[in-house]
Amino acid sequence: MSEGVCPCCGEPVPVEVAFQIVAAAVLARPLSERSAARRADLWADVAAYLARNPDASANAVAASVTGRRLDVLHAVRELRRRAEVVPDARNQSHDEAAA
């Protein structure tokens, strides 16, 4: 097979090696973007399910939402923890909300 030339140093580079380098660089970013998108979709699905079924157990959410079970359970745990940290403005009186 023919060889390419390194643009930095001018040394010959086998095509197979050049292809592997380019493929690794090109595939790395889209994979992480796809992973982030899948995670965001999963968390949105879990949040929507919990909004419809606030008393559902984590196991019930995992059975109903499509995704890896451990990821779903983690999302349930984190979403519930974050909901505890943020005070619910609907439960505050007008004077407390103004303070």
In a domain, 80, yes or no: yes
In a domain, 99, yes or no: no
In a domain, 74, yes or no: yes
Q: pLDDT class for 33, splitting at 50, 70, 90?
A: confident
Q: What is the pLDDT of residues 38-91, one digit of tens each?
A: 999 999 999 999 999 999 999 999 999 999 999 999 999 999 988 887 655 555
With a threshold of 0.75, does the pTM exceed it?
A: no
Q: How far apart are CA 17 and CA 76, in angstroms?
A: 44
Q: How far apart are CA 78 and CA 33, in angstroms?
A: 21
In a domain, 96, yes or no: no
Domain enclosing residue 36, as ranges: 3-91
In a domain, 98, yes or no: no
In a domain, 42, yes or no: yes
The b/e string for 69-78 (b: 16+ C-beta within 10 A; e otherwise) is eebbbbbbee
32: DSSP letter: H
In a domain, 31, yes or no: yes
In a domain, 75, yes or no: yes
Q: How many structural domains comprise the chain?
A: 1
